Amino acid sequence: MARRRYLIAYDIADPKRLRRVCTLMEDHGERLQYSVFLCDLTIAERAELDSAVTDVLNLNEDSVVQIDLGDAAAPARIRSLGRSRRLPETGPKIV
CA dist 3 and 44 (Å) reads 10
For 7-35, the pLDDT digits (tens) are 999 999 999 999 999 999 999 999 998 99
More confident residue, 23 or 93: 23
pTM above 0.75, yes or no: yes
Single-letter amino acid code for the residue at 43:
I
Which CATH entry fits the domain spanning 4-71: 3.30.70.240, 3.40.50.10320, 3.10.350.10, 3.30.565.10? 3.30.70.240
For 37-67, the pLDDT digits (tens) are 999 999 999 999 999 999 999 999 999 999 9
Cα four-point dihedral sign 33, 54, 29, 91:
negative
Q: What angle do CA 68, 70, 72 make, to 5 degrees?
A: 115
Using DSSP bridges, classify how beta strands 4-11 and 36-41 pair: parallel, antiparallel or unpaired. Answer: antiparallel
Taking the domains of the chain in order of start, what are their residue ranges?
A: 4-71
